[in-house]
Amino acid sequence: MSQLNFTWLSMSTCPPGRWDLRLLDWRIGGRCPDWKFVADRKCAVIVGADDADTRAGLLEQGFADALSSQVAMVELGARMLKLEGLGEMIPQYRIIGPVRLDLFYRDAYVDGRWIGLHPREFALMWRLAADPGQRVDKPALLKDVWRLRHEPETNSLEVHVSRLRAKLAVSGLGWLVQTHPDGGYFICTEARSTFPAFARERRSMLDSATTMSQGRRSNQPNLAECHVQRTRND
């Protein structure tokens, strides 16, 4: 997955959170201390110019765009993608079956609604969706999503995968993110091959629930059966 570098030009050493393009999976390639060191102004976007005359002057000087301090991340990202050649490097959307991943909103759109992905969950699915059907191992995911070059002593990756699957499962799409037999994860591109395994797993869970409930009182409601019934009605 290609990731763009950007240079931050400011008195501060790091961009404010609301303008931090690392949230769009871009990286800071360096910090430029002064305007005179800007090599290519046609690829530079000025943010924080609240005066209209100042913005007009910056545009006349050859800068790609000049924006006020009220610009939101979604607009900043859209304007940067308008720069020549940039749109071809980072797509705004990735379509995986019935799911549309939106880079600007950092969420997944299914059946006319957003499913409410956490930023890390979105970054995880965006990375997997870059190569549908291809295995992405754990070190690659930790590097691309968590920016880690070592394996931490936590199961954060597994937890985020589980939460991502749970949110997709609400729309019946929990099968999209699969665990690879050789380790890592991949986006499943053939739903049919996944449904039998899912059905077997579901029957196994129901059988286990039935066995565990054999000793309960006869008038006690079977919660597992009630849940299955509600699922079928839905």
pLDDT (0 to 100) of residue 163: 95
Q: Based on the domain organization, do 183 and 111 belong to the same domain?
A: yes
Q: Based on the domain organization, do 130 and 158 belong to the same domain?
A: yes
Q: Based on the domain organization, do 73 and 101 belong to the same domain?
A: no
pLDDT (0 to 100) of residue 82: 73
pLDDT (0 to 100) of residue 141: 93
Tally of structural domains, the chain: 3
Q: Based on the domain organization, do 43 and 64 belong to the same domain?
A: yes
Q: Based on the domain organization, do 82 and 97 belong to the same domain?
A: no
Distance CA 76, CA 213 (A): 56
Q: Based on the domain organization, do 32 and 74 belong to the same domain?
A: yes
Distance CA 184, CA 207 (A): 29
Cross-strand partners of 46: 66
* Residue that is last in its domain, among 89, 117, 147: 89
Q: Based on the domain organization, do 33 and 82 belong to the same domain?
A: yes
Q: Based on the domain organization, do 97 and 84 belong to the same domain?
A: no
Task: Output the pTM of the full model.
Answer: 0.49
Q: Based on the domain organization, do 51 and 102 belong to the same domain?
A: no
Cross-strand partners of 114: 109
Helices 195-212 and 223-233, interaxial angle, to 10°?
150
pLDDT (0 to 100) of residue 185: 96
pLDDT (0 to 100) of residue 84: 56
Q: Based on the domain organization, do 136 and 153 belong to the same domain?
A: yes
* Residue that is last in its domain, among 89, 107, 124: 89
**What is the distance between the terminal CA atoms of the chain, rounded to a whole angstrom?**
38
Strands 93-96, 99-102: pairing kind: antiparallel
Q: Based on the domain organization, do 129 and 152 belong to the same domain?
A: yes
Give, for all 234 residues of the chain, the pLDDT tens digit: 344 566 677 767 777 777 777 777 666 666 666 666 666 677 778 888 889 888 888 888 778 788 888 888 878 877 777 775 655 556 778 898 899 999 878 899 999 899 999 999 999 999 999 888 999 999 999 998 988 888 887 899 999 999 999 999 999 999 999 999 999 999 998 754 444 444 444 454 445 444 444 444 445 444 334 333 343 444
Domain enclosing residue 29, as ranges = 5-89
Q: Based on the domain organization, do 118 and 100 belong to the same domain?
A: yes
CB 28 within 8 A of CB 6: yes
Q: In 184-218, which positions are buried (b, 16+ CB within 10 angstroms) versus exposed (e)?
A: bbbbbeeeeeeeeeeeeeeeeeeeeeeeeeeeeee
